[in-house]
Structure formats: structure tokens, C-alpha cells
Structure 1
Amino acid sequence: MNIQRWIARKEPSWKQLETLLQKAEKKGIRSLTAAEIQSLSSLYRSVSADLARAKTTQASQTLIHALQGLTSRAYNQVYQGSRRQEWGKVWRFYRWGFPAVVQATWAYTALATALFLLGALLAWWLAWRDPDFIALIAPASLIEQVRDRGELWMGNIVGSEPLASSGIMVNNLVVSFRVIAGGITGGLLTTWALFFNGIMIGAIATLVGQNNLAYPFWAFVFPHGALELPAIFFAGGAGFLIARALLFPGQYRRVDAFKVYGTQAAQLVYGIVPMLVIAGTIEGFFSPNPIVPAPLKYLAGLLLLIGLITYCGQRTTDRPSARPSAMPQAED
């Protein structure tokens, strides 16, 4: 190969790439037009091939270093731009997309909430009629601590906050994913998981209420429960979406129904994971903290609940990026 002739033929594309890179580095990748971005990507691949060829020929080290510099700069612009676009998609999903899918699937979440509340009310009714009922649900050690010593169990978290917080996050995620996976059984396990968790909460709430500990108990539960319980209800909604695809595909073929409703379920999962992480952090560090007065805990829980309702209820229909089809998609 005639190296000088090859350089003369390739040099215009190198200069063109250099010009585009200078513009992108000075003003940002968004300053480039769509055609310029496409040209930048194409030139990057071309110069990468030129660099590989230069290394296998008798090209000077000066030329090789120059081409290495070009490819490195172009790589940063091309792939950092892609990463910025991906982060932009994540931002748009959590800003508008998650509220949009919550609104689109509210009936499934409402069903999950109703089942949980039904379990809680049934446990409350049974516990007041039959004091022995609580012993079927709560551990004996917990009942003894509350009834005999008049103490709550949250103090065990103090002093081991990081470990407790991580354990709580994992447990909540496991419960939520179990509720979601229950959709594969036609929603039977989802229904049972929600109903049984409601019974547990109802029984324990009745136990502390019967022993005049309701105020500190709910002061502990409310701050993290304002996010944790809605996240579990959203998980229940996701499970029922999967059950809907399995049992009632409607106008879709069953495989297409799984794509449609499964995508919505996956989008709910994308939203509940950060909710559970935040709730676990609050439950580990804030809720059991004896230094924080109970009224402040109630206020924190109320503000979180109002914030969540406002966020999920915001108007999204006039934003194209908020449509479910514009959100991250589940894998086929």
C-alpha cells in the first residue's frame, strides 16, 4: 500500500471528524444536528478502521497517535451521548411515565388495596371477638412483649440501623416480587399474599391497640408505611395484570396479551423498587429513632403520602414521553 496516497485519500474524513468533535466538545453534543450526529458516528467507525490499518502498515507513530486521539474523543462523544440519552429516558419515566402507568392500571391497584384492607378488617374483627386469634398470627414472644411488658419491639433496630435497613429492604422486595409472581397462578397467590399480609397487619395493630400502644406503633409505621404499603399495592396490581393476560386476554392473542399487560406490570416494578429502597431507609434510620418525637413522625408520613398521591395523580396525558409506549420496555 502506498501510505502517502492512503493518507491523502483519508485525510479529509479525519479533518471532518475533527471539526465535528471540536463543535461537540465546545458546545455539547446537542449542538449538532441529527445529520451531524449520524455523520459523527459513521466517521468514528471509519477512523477506528483506519487506526487498525495504520497499525498494520508502515505508518508513523505520529499518525497512529493522532488517529488514536481522534477515535478516543469520538468514542467519548458517541457513547457518552448514548448514556445521556438513556439517563434522559430514565428521568422521563420517573418524572411522567410511572404516574402515567399508575393511572392507566389504577383498577388493578385498587383491587390489591381492597384485598389487603379486607384482610386487615377481618383480623381486627376476629381479634376483638376472640383474643386467642392473635396467637394464631403473631409470634408468642411478640405477644408477651406487648401484653406483659407493655413494650413495642422497634427498639431492637436502634444501634444496628444499617444492617436492619438493608434487611428490611430485601424483605420488602421479596414480599413484593412474591406478590407479582403470584400472577402466574391466575392471581390466586397474589390474592392470598395481599389478604394474608392484611390479616397480619390487622392482628398486630389490634394487639397494640388493646394494650394502649397504638399511638407509638403508628408513629413508627406511618413514615415508611406511606411508601411501603402503596408499593405493595402496586406490586399486587402488577400481579393482577399478569393474571389478566393469562386468564382474560380479550382482543389479544395470549402471547400478545402478555406483552401488553406484562409490559405494564414491568413498568410498575420499575417504580416500586426505589419506593421500597426509600421506605427501607426510613424504617431503619428514622421510624424507630427515639430522638425523633412522634408528632414529627406522623407529619413526615403525612407529607410523604400527600407527595406520593400528588406525584401519581399529576396530569400526564399532554406529555408524549409519559405514554406507556414511551417507557422502558420489558424484555420479550
Structure 2
Amino acid sequence: MREAAFVKQNKDKWLKFESLLKNNSNISPDQLSATYVEITDHLSYANTFYRGSNTARYLNDLASQAHQKVYRNKKESKNKFILFYTKEFPLFFYQYQKQLLFSFLVFTIFAIVGAYSAANEDSFVRAVLGDAYVNATLNNIENDDPMAVYKQASETDMFLGITINNVRVGLMAFSFGVLAGLGTLIVLMQNAIMLGSFQYFFYDKGLLWESARTIWIHGTIEISVIIIAACAGLVVGRSILFPKTYSRLHSFVTGVKDGLKIVISTVPFFVIAGFLEGFVTRHTEMPDILAILIISLSLILILWYYVILPHRLYKKFIDGK
């Protein structure tokens, strides 16, 4: 939507709200809160699509005026946290759907490369996964418990260790974007090749389904948010390579801020993935239908939050609802 059309569509509502605030008119707390939420939605939209414009500055001032009234007796941090995850971030992320798609395609291509390489070079799996892991897994297969690796540590220790490691990988994928996006692509490539060779290893042993139903219980969210964190790195890389009408420094700073928002959004999902791997994946005896249900719900959650919801919120603004 053009900025002029956006202003024309909402101008009367903004002026009315501004008048109520300036005249200290009587307005119910519920009405004030509801209108304030709508104004912050508009502000988020303006910051996303008309960054630095007079419209964005005006809405920021208007939201600031209403802030003290709305949050006089509320805990600001809690409400800002909820608003960020439920409305501000999904709407903001709409503009980076292409980078998300590119990150996904790169990961998929290199996962296929990893599987193909493992199929054509016997030593490739050991080179990627390490002799210790391969030997331990072969021993587990001989003992009729191929997924025993997920049962070795205690639930809490595995949960904490995996979550910290996943967040570390996500931060690497994001921060390496400062290398014009090349570092991010390398991190993405490494993880994709590892996954592809890992899955082929079990396929070669006749255990593809056994491995897939187990690792994708946590891997659906884990791999997805690594791809999303890589999207954040690509945002940074693009800001360096393609500053558009901005100075390269201004574009870079904006790219880092935007990428950081994307990374922050992934933290709860990394925690969920760590919880699943630490407390759920180890139960390899669970029925297939339950494993499929967990995997399906995880995939729906990711697609809803990072793809469907951003498009719905954007369409809502376009339609003026």
C-alpha cells in the first residue's frame, strides 16, 4: 500500500485519538487500550514499510503520548513482550519472506548434496559426522536400539545442552551475515550437508523411517529455526551488498537491527526444540501415530507463525481492517 493511501485510510482515526488525548477526554480504559493497540499496529506497519517517514514519526509520537495512560497501572515489559511476538514481529517479518524462502532452498539443496555425497563416497559420512559418532551408532544398531544416542544423558542435561548449542548455531548464522552473507551461507551449508548425510546413513542401514520419526520430533522446529536464523544473517548480508538509497552504514545498521529481531523471535522455538529433544525424542517406543502428530503440529506451528500469520496481518492492513 502506498504511504499516501495508508494515511488517507487511517487519518481520521488518528486525529480523533489525538484529540481525545490532548483534551484529556473521558475514555474508558478498554476503549483506550484497544485504540492504543491499533495505533501501535499502525506504527509497526509504518516502521516496516515507511521507515523514517513523517507518518512513522507522527505515529511514534502519538503512541508515546498514549503510553503512560495505557500502562499507568500495568507492567510494561510483559505487554511489550506479548505485543512483539503476537503482532509486531509477524507483521515486520512479512517483508523478509523472500529471504526466508531463499534460506530454505539453499538448505534443501545442500541437504540433497549431503545425501548424494554420502551415497557415492563411503568415507563421507565419517568425515562429516565423525568416527566416534558413526561407531557409536553402528554399535547401537547392533544392539537393536539405533536411536540410543538420545537416551544417554539425563533429560534436563540434554535439554539445557541442546538448547544452548542450538541458540549458538542460530547466533552464528546471524552474526556471520556481516561477511556479506557468505558466512551465513557456509553455516547453512554445513548444517544441511550434515543432515543429508545423517539421513542417508540410516537409509543405507534400512532405518530411514526409524530415524526420521525420531529425529524430526525435535528436528522439525530445530532445523526450521536454524533456517530462519540464517534468514536473519541474509538480511544483514543484503543490507551490506544492496544499500539502495541509504548510505552503506545506515543500511548495515538497519539490517543488523532487523536481523536481531528475527533471531530474538527464534529463541522460544529453540527452547521448545530443546525440550522435545531432551524429554520426548528419547521415547523411541512411542507409537508412530504420536510421533507423526508431534511432527505435524511442529510444522504447522512454524508455518503459521513465520509464513501464514505475517501474510494475514499484512492483508489485514491492506484491507484496512
Q: TM-score, length-normalised on structure 2?
A: 0.71
Q: How large is the RMSD of aligned CA atoms in angstroms?
A: 2.6
For 2:138 and 2:225, the matched residues in 1 are separated by 31
For 1:159 and 1:182, the matched residues in 2 are separated by 31
Matching residue's letter, 1:125? Y
Deviation at 1:90, TM superposition (A): 1.8
Aligned with 1:251: secondary structure? coil
Matching residue's letter, 2:168? V
Deviation at 1:147, TM superposition (A): 3.8
1:317 matched to 2:314? The reply is: yes
Matching residue's letter, 2:112? L
Would the aligned equivalents of 2:147 and 2:214 in 1 still touch at CA under 8 Å?
no
Deviation at 1:32, TM superposition (A): 11
Deviation at 1:227, TM superposition (A): 1.4
Deviation at 1:211, TM superposition (A): 0.6
Matching residue's letter, 1:316? L
- Stretches of structure 2 that go unaligned for 5 or more consecutive residues are 1-27, 34-67
For 2:30 and 2:168, the matched residues in 1 are separated by 45
Deviation at 1:155, TM superposition (A): 4.3
Equivalent residues in 2 for 1:153-172, closer than 5 Å: 153-157=147-151, 160-172=154-166
Deviation at 1:159, TM superposition (A): 5.8
Would the aligned equivalents of 2:225 and 2:269 in 1 still touch at CA under 8 Å?
yes
Deviation at 1:78, TM superposition (A): 9.0
Question: How has the CA–CA distance of structure 1 residues 78 and 201 changed in structure 2, closer, same or farther, with 3 Å as cutoff?
Answer: same
Aligned with 1:317: secondary structure? helix
Deviation at 1:282, TM superposition (A): 0.8
Would the aligned equivalents of 1:224 and 1:282 in 2 still touch at CA under 8 Å?
yes
Q: For residue 214 of structure 2, what is the aligned residue in structure 1?
A: 220
Q: For residue 273 of structure 2, what is the aligned residue in structure 1?
A: 279
Indicate which of 77, 93, 116 corresponds to 1:86.
77
Q: String of CA shifts for 1:196-220, please: whole Å, max 9, x gaps.
A: 1111111111101111222221122
1:140 matched to 2:131? The reply is: yes
Indicate which of 104, 120, 135 corresponds to 2:111.
120
Matching residue's letter, 1:209? Y
Question: How has the CA–CA distance of structure 1 residues 85 and 126 changed in structure 2, closer, same or farther, with 3 Å as cutoff?
Answer: same
Aligned with 1:102: secondary structure? helix
Equivalent residues in 2 for 1:222-241, closer than 5 Å: 222-241=216-235
Q: For residue 300 of structure 1, what is the aligned residue in structure 2?
A: 294
Aligned with 1:87: secondary structure? helix
Deviation at 1:260, TM superposition (A): 2.9
Q: Which moved more, 1:175-184 or 1:261-270?
A: 261-270
Q: String of CA shifts for 1:118-169, please: whole Å, max 9, x gaps.
A: 2211111111112222121122132223445524244453560001100000
Q: TM-score, length-normalised on structure 1?
A: 0.68
For 2:120 and 2:240, the matched residues in 1 are separated by 40
For 2:256 and 2:113, the matched residues in 1 are separated by 32
Aligned with 1:105: secondary structure? helix
Larger Rg: 1
Q: Which moved more, 1:198-207 or 1:249-258?
A: 249-258
How many pairs are equivalent?
A: 250
Matching residue's letter, 2:131? A
Would the aligned equivalents of 1:116 and 1:194 in 2 still touch at CA under 8 Å?
yes
Deviation at 1:276, TM superposition (A): 0.3
1:108 matched to 2:108? The reply is: no
Would the aligned equivalents of 1:241 and 1:264 in 2 still touch at CA under 8 Å?
yes
Question: How has the CA–CA distance of structure 1 residues 32 and 200 changed in structure 2, closer, same or farther, with 3 Å as cutoff?
Answer: closer
1:97 matched to 2:76? The reply is: no
Question: How has the CA–CA distance of structure 1 residues 149 and 279 changed in structure 2, closer, same or farther, with 3 Å as cutoff?
Answer: closer
Aligned with 1:81: secondary structure? coil
Question: How has the CA–CA distance of structure 1 residues 31 and 217 changed in structure 2, closer, same or farther, with 3 Å as cutoff?
Answer: closer
Equivalent residues in 2 for 1:182-193, closer than 5 Å: 182-193=176-187
Q: For residue 243 of structure 2, what is the aligned residue in structure 1?
A: 249
Matching residue's letter, 1:111? F
